[in-house]
Structure 1
């Protein structure tokens, strides 16, 4: 059966204390608390810098059985190197501790900057370099250099599937060639609700769906109304049953391959006004997960 993972992007936010988090909850216990309120969390510290294996191990220990993390790929790869000559940085990221999550390692998110245009050859090369299981990832991780903060973690507990999702923010990606490229590499297109600021596409390109809800009226700040959450619940049900919404916003005229079901990962990133955790919980109730 398809699995639905509804969660939040990050968990350590000062405005959440005393609102989402109990007033007397120590900061060190925030992940333990949040992971028992939602089903998944995006680790976004990994976007800003390489993390430590000991940190990933602690995050695994602080969360309940069955919990899943999505891990955001480094901006050094996407924003600074802009996907060029990234073999070394990719090896460092893979060796920085993600294997310490074990069975709690979910999809890896790659977010392109708004100025990044679609370049078919560049993206083909980058997507081809991404490992699709932990054995492939470990082979790449062993090629790390000395930029790691702790000794490398390059030995997964066992072979596990790896999933990748790509978030784009430039209108040049709204084309048939890009969707075909994602499907060829089995990478999910992120369905990103950005209050109209960046392209909104719902093309199904992989065996799972990845949603990021940044706010439908104001980016990062506005909450979702009950009607808006009902709409998202209906769309998630359609994707999870292997189909798609009848009014799906697609760049490609080619429909996706039919499946019996698809896992769906959905993260609320409207954190500035403490809407994200409560919106996630409300959507979970509507989906009965």
Structure 2
């Protein structure tokens, strides 16, 4: 299964016909986006706690086969000692995320770009990430933004827990393309201000990479930054190529 989407859904430049139809009420933007794409990465959860009712509302407004990825709280990941994040991890996991039910996809634990790989500290952090919450299986992904995480030891630690290493495509961050789980997670961050976000060759390149990464595993692909106003079109173009 390949899921493709964008980060969030409330962005003014997507309105007025750029992605959302002219005149579409803002309260219906998630309804529209979840039927034009196959997944969305929720970024608001990174910056602050969300109401339990919000997770339920997002569940109810989207199709049965839709999936959300969540960015975990920055209070759990932007710290000097990751292994001491237990309380913050638990607060996030018990904040209502399981109200998404089967629409809950992977959780992206994005590390600070200054955070370097420390085997003992990293292992301690991974041990804080449970396999399930409220009876719902969880998938975890680590977005490491420092080149030191290209160390095979980091991949081995993730592999032991079936935790994915997020791949950063077209980014200033290191592109760590190492499979460590039964799913893969790719974030594209280099769209250009052209139709589709990439030219035809660029779209075909990333479609090919998606096919390769999804060989034998699920793939979650999000078009995140770059020319952000082009990202929905890019995601839709990739969906069409991979249909």
| Residue segments in structure 2 that go unaligned for 5+ positions in a row | none
1:225 Cα offset (Å): 2.0
**Larger strand percent:** 2
**Larger helix percent:** 2
* Runs ≥4 residues deviating over 4 A: none
Instruction: Measure, in 2, the Cα distance between the counterparts of 1:33 and 1:56.
Output: 17
Alignment partner, residue 245 of structure 1: none
Once superposed, what is the RMSD of the aligned Cα atoms?
Answer: 1.7
Q: Aligned pair 1:88/2:64, yes or no?
A: no
Alignment partner, residue 131 of structure 2: 132
The answer (yes or no) to whether the contact 2:81–2:121 under 8 Å persists in 1 is no
Secondary structure of 1:36's match? Answer: helix
1:160 Cα offset (Å): 3.1
Q: 1:169 aligns with which of 124, 136, 145?
A: 145
1:82 Cα offset (Å): 5.0
Instruction: Measure, in 2, the Cα distance between the counterparts of 1:224 and 1:107.
Output: 26
Bigger-Rg structure (1/2):
1
Alignment partner, residue 275 of structure 1: 230
The number of residue pairs the alignment matches comes to 240
Instruction: Measure, in 2, the Cα distance between the counterparts of 1:84 and 1:8.
Output: 30
Alignment partner, residue 252 of structure 1: none
Q: 1:200 aligns with which of 175, 180, 189?
A: 175
Alignment partner, residue 11 of structure 1: 9
Instruction: Measure, in 2, the Cα distance between the counterparts of 1:205 and 1:284.
Output: 24
* TM-score of the aligned structures, taking structure 2 as reference length: 0.93
The answer (yes or no) to whether the contact 2:158–2:165 under 8 Å persists in 1 is yes
Judge which range, 228-237 or 95-104, deviates more. 228-237
Alignment partner, residue 109 of structure 2: 110
Q: Aligned pair 1:55/2:54, yes or no?
A: yes
Instruction: Measure, in 2, the Cα distance between the counterparts of 1:278 and 1:38.
Output: 10
